[in-house]
Structure 1
Amino acid sequence: MPYDVALADRIRMVLAEELLGGELDDDEGDLGLVEEKKMFGGLGFMVAGHLAVCAGSKGDLMVRVDPAEIDALCADADVEPMAMAGRTSKSWVNVAPEALTDDALSAWIERGVTAARSASRR
C-alpha cells in the first residue's frame, strides 16, 4: 500500500503555512525549502536537503527528532522509536494515526523541521 494520501496533504498544508508564515526561509538554510521523495513505502518531506517527516502507509507519521529527546517522546503510548531491518533508530520516531490531531501534527512537523535543520548544520 502506498503512503497515506490524506496525511501527505495535511503535511503539505502545515508546511505551506510555515512557508507563508516565515517559519521556513533561506536565512535558516532551507534552500529549496521543501522537497518530496517517495521512500520506505511512504512519502518523505525534506527540508534543507534532510528528511524531516514521512507520511506512512497506515496513516502514521515518521518524524526526525533530537536523539536526546527520544526516550521522553517514546513515553507517550502513541509514539515509538522507528525500527527498520531489525535496528531501532535513535533519531526517528513513529507517531500513531490516532495521535495526529491538527495541533499535534503541526507540533510534530515543527519538531521534524527543527531536527532536519540541525542535521544540515553538522
Structure 2
Amino acid sequence: MAYDEHLAERVHQLLKRRRGFSKRKMFGGICFMLHGNMCCGVTQNELMLRLGEKNVLKALEEPFTREMDFTGKPLKSMIYVDQPGFEDEADLKEWVNRAVKFVQSLPPKT
C-alpha cells in the first residue's frame, strides 16, 4: 500500500460534496483536486497540503509539520503534516479547510 487508505477516506469524506471535487493518483499517493487544482493528498501515512508560500511559512511553525520535499527540493507552497497532527477529526478538518481556502483563490483549470 503506497498510502494510508483510511486517512485518504477521511479526507475524501471532508471534500466529496464540494463542487469541482476529483481525485488522482500522484506523488506516490492520492491527491484531492478542486476545479483541477491540487488541494491536498495522502502519501504513505502523511497528509500533504497545498497552502501557498505565505501560508506555508506560518504552518511550518506548528507542531508535526515539515516542508514537502518530494523531489529532494522543498516545494514552497506545500507541506507535510505527520500523523499526530491530524489524528483528531477536528484537526484534520482544520488542515483540509486551510488547503481548500487557498485553492479556492486560484483560477479553475480546464
Indicate yes or no: 2:54 matched with 1:68: yes
Of stretches 88-97 and 65-74 in structure 1, the one that deviates more from structure 2 is 65-74
How many matched pairs? 108
Post-superposition offset of 1:121: 6.0
Indicate yes or no: 2:14 matched with 1:14: yes
Indicate yes or no: 2:103 matched with 1:116: yes
CA contact (8 A) 1:49 1:120 kept: no
Structure 2 residue corresponding to 1:50, chosen from 37, 50, 56: 37
Task: Indicate the SS of the match to 2:69.
Answer: strand
Post-superposition offset of 1:67: 1.3
CA contact (8 A) 1:36 1:44 kept: yes
In structure 2, the partner of 1:40 is 27
In the TM superposition, what whole-angstrom CA distance separates every residue of 1:36-93 from its partner, at most 9, and x where no partner exists? 1011111000001101001111x21000003112222101230111112221111001
**RMSD of aligned Cα (Å):** 1.7
In structure 2, the partner of 1:87 is 73
5+ long unaligned stretches in structure 1: 26-32
Task: Indicate the SS of the match to 2:57.
Answer: helix
- Deviating beyond 4 angstroms after TM superposition, the runs of 4 or more aligned structure 1 residues are none
5+ long unaligned stretches in structure 2: none
In structure 2, the partner of 1:30 is none
* Structure 1 or 2: more helix by fraction: 1
Task: Indicate the SS of the match to 2:63.
Answer: coil
CA contact (8 A) 2:34 2:103 kept: yes
Give me the whole-angstrom Cα distance separating, in 2, the residues matched to 1:110 and 1:85: 25
Post-superposition offset of 1:14: 1.2
Superposition TM-score, scaled by structure 1 size: 0.80
Structure possessing the higher radius of gyration over alpha carbons: 1
